[in-house]
Amino acid sequence: MKSIRSVRALLVLAVAILAMSASSLAQLVVSIGIAPPALPVYTQPMAPAAGYLWTPGYWAAGGEGYFWVPGTWVTAPAVGLLWTPGYWGWGGNAYAWNGGYWGRSVGFYGGVNYGFGYGGSGYQGGRWQNGQFYYNRSANNINATNIHNVYNSTVINNTTVNHVSYNGGTGGITARPTAAEETAAHEQHTPPTALQTQHVQAASTNHALLASVNHGKPAVAATAKPGEFSGQGVVAAKQAGAAYKAAANTSAENKTAATKATENKTAEDKAAATKATENKTAEDKAAATKATENKTAENKAAATKATENKAAENKTAATKTTENKTAENKAAATKTTENKAAENKTAATKATENKTAENKAAATRTNENKAATPKAAHPPAESKKEPTAHAQPAARPAVAHTQPASHPAPAAHTQPASHPAPAAHAQPAPRPAPEKAAHTSGG
């Protein structure tokens, strides 16, 4: 029964770990009060094919304490990515696990010497070149017949150091990140692949991989492919990295680890919920503000449109009124001109008729006066004969006084026949007085 409860607790913890986000896996996942065992000594299985990269084994924490996650060959999630292993680090009151990740360069992994190219800093097991991964034969177990992308570069492994699996704390490694590793830590990271995650889950359920069972020397230290814990590709540990020391209070430590994981998860969930609430509030506020701005803009646009429409209507009405007024004035002016022309024509016609009538009347009168004038001038003609018969002296005054008689032309010059006065002036011609004087003088 105790074993079943332990397995259940282990599964709960594993599920809790796997349920965490990739970013959480790269950070603090779980902490425990006792340091993990030393790394076991084992050989690397042969690479299954070109394109596989080595990920070293490590001790993970579960419901029954530490269990071994075998090293294995995996394919990178993308060309150019390298694996940075996870590591245990002392956090002041417990050891915390810092998860591994994929990146363009290898970051800090606690200074732990995992072997096979991971000597504690950087990676000397291979490199990417022209889209292909090239293997360093000095650090990897490969079949050169099947894999041709190889090179040979010496890797120095310090065999005098122990296989300490954690950084900081009592007996831990004292390494610190280099400038290049600090830079790598801030680059874009990719979490473990699905096969890697399944590999860890399978290890957590394998009772033989518990440190309390294998005492630091697991029967499956490494595999050729993820999750394959049996068969030709499985490699067993040669020996434990150091003497195993069983913890007297393993159950209490495991309980503390589980509690700590739960607390961390609760804190993360609470923080996530708070963040979600804040984001929702911010979104609602932004949406309300946007709606208000949109409404204001719509109202402003509507008001502007109404004003423009009103202005257009007023302008149209004013234009229409002006056009109507212009048309009315033009019609009135045309009517006035026509009436004036008609009146002028009528007046001209009337004046012409009156002038014609006057001229006709004047002509008739002139003719009548002209007809009457010869009769009045006839008597002087008879009187001229008498002075001719008498003495010569009488002729001189007759010439002088008869000059006016030759002016009947002015009477003719005054064409208007209606004026009889000039006809009366023509009568001095007879002048009988001189004739009588002449007669007296002769006697």
Q: List, for residues 234-248, the tens digit of each pLDDT value.
A: 999 999 999 888 765
Kindly tell me if the per-residue pLDDT of 159 is higher than 80.
no
Q: Which of 284-298, 341-355, 406-420 has the lowest mean pLDDT?
A: 406-420
Task: Name the pLDDT band for 2 (thresholds 50, 70, 90).
Answer: very low
* Dist. CA 149–CA 51, nearest whole Å: 10
Looking at residue 421, its pLDDT comes to 46
Kindly tell me if the per-residue pLDDT of 374 is higher than 60.
no
Q: Which of 187-201, 261-275, 292-306 has the lowest mean pLDDT?
A: 261-275
Handedness of CA 295, 298, 300, 302 (dihedral sign): negative
Task: Name the pLDDT band for 305 (thresholds 50, 70, 90).
Answer: confident
Please write the tens of the pLDDT for every residue from 401-440.
Answer: 444 444 444 444 444 444 444 444 444 455 544 444 434 3
77 and 154 Cβ atoms separated by less than 8 Å: no
89 and 96 Cβ atoms separated by less than 8 Å: yes
* Percent of the chain's residues with pLDDT above 70: 69
Looking at residue 314, its pLDDT comes to 76
Burial 317-329 (b: 16+ CB within 10 A, else e): eeeeeeeeeeeee
Kindly tell me if the per-residue pLDDT of 3 is higher than 70.
no
From the centroid of its chain, how far is CA 347? 80
From the centroid of its chain, how far is CA 26? 38
- Choose between 178 and 13: higher pLDDT: 178
Kindly tell me if the per-residue pLDDT of 147 is higher than 50.
yes
Element of type H or E holding 129: strand 126-129
* Dist. CA 167–CA 88, nearest whole Å: 6
221 and 235 Cβ atoms separated by less than 8 Å: yes
Average the pLDDT over 169-182 and give the result: 94
Q: Which range in 149-153, 292-296, 390-394, 417-421 is most confidently predicted, on average pLDDT? A: 149-153
Kindly tell me if the per-residue pLDDT of 443 is higher than 80.
no
DSSP state of 293: H
Q: Which of 124-133, 188-197, 421-430 has the lowest mean pLDDT?
A: 421-430
Average pLDDT, the chain: 76
Instruction: State how beta strands 132-136 and 150-151 pair.
Output: parallel
- Choose between 318 and 403: higher pLDDT: 318
Looking at residue 271, its pLDDT comes to 66
Q: What residues contact residue 177 under an 8 Å CB cut-off, 6+ apart?
A: 107, 108, 185
Dihedral pair phi/psi, residue 79, rounded to 5°: -65, 135
Task: Name the pLDDT band for 317 (thresholds 50, 70, 90).
Answer: confident
* Dist. CA 400–CA 141, nearest whole Å: 178
Q: Which of 49-58, 191-200, 294-303 has the lowest mean pLDDT?
A: 294-303
Task: Name the pLDDT band for 175 (thresholds 50, 70, 90).
Answer: very high
* Dist. CA 117–CA 84, nearest whole Å: 11
Kindly tell me if the per-residue pLDDT of 192 is higher than 90.
yes
Q: Which of 35-49, 364-378, 396-410 has the lowest mean pLDDT?
A: 396-410
Q: Which of 163-167, 324-328, 367-371 has the lowest mean pLDDT?
A: 367-371
Q: Which of 38-52, 222-236, 384-398 has the lowest mean pLDDT?
A: 384-398
- Choose between 317 and 315: higher pLDDT: 315
Please write the tens of the pLDDT for every residue from 40-95.
Answer: 999 999 999 999 999 999 999 999 999 999 999 999 999 999 999 999 999 989 99
76 and 192 Cβ atoms separated by less than 8 Å: no
* Percent of the chain's residues with pLDDT above 90: 42
From the centroid of its chain, how far is CA 97? 46
Looking at residue 378, its pLDDT comes to 47
In terms of Cα–Cα distance, which of 127, 146, 126 is closest to 49? 146
* Dist. CA 56–CA 52, nearest whole Å: 13
- Choose between 159 and 105: higher pLDDT: 105
Looking at residue 156, its pLDDT comes to 72
* Dist. CA 38–CA 221, nearest whole Å: 13
Kindly tell me if the per-residue pLDDT of 200 is higher than 70.
yes
Looking at residue 230, its pLDDT comes to 93
Looking at residue 368, its pLDDT comes to 74
Q: What residues contact residue 209 under an 8 Å CB cut-off, 6+ apart?
A: 67, 68, 69, 70, 203, 218, 220
Kindly tell me if the per-residue pLDDT of 341 is higher than 60.
yes
Kindly tell me if the per-residue pLDDT of 123 is higher than 50.
yes
Task: Name the pLDDT band for 262 (thresholds 50, 70, 90).
Answer: low
Task: Name the pLDDT band for 300 (thresholds 50, 70, 90).
Answer: confident
Task: Name the pLDDT band for 382 (thresholds 50, 70, 90).
Answer: very low
Integer angstrom CA distances of residue 73 from 57, 246, 376:
10, 31, 168
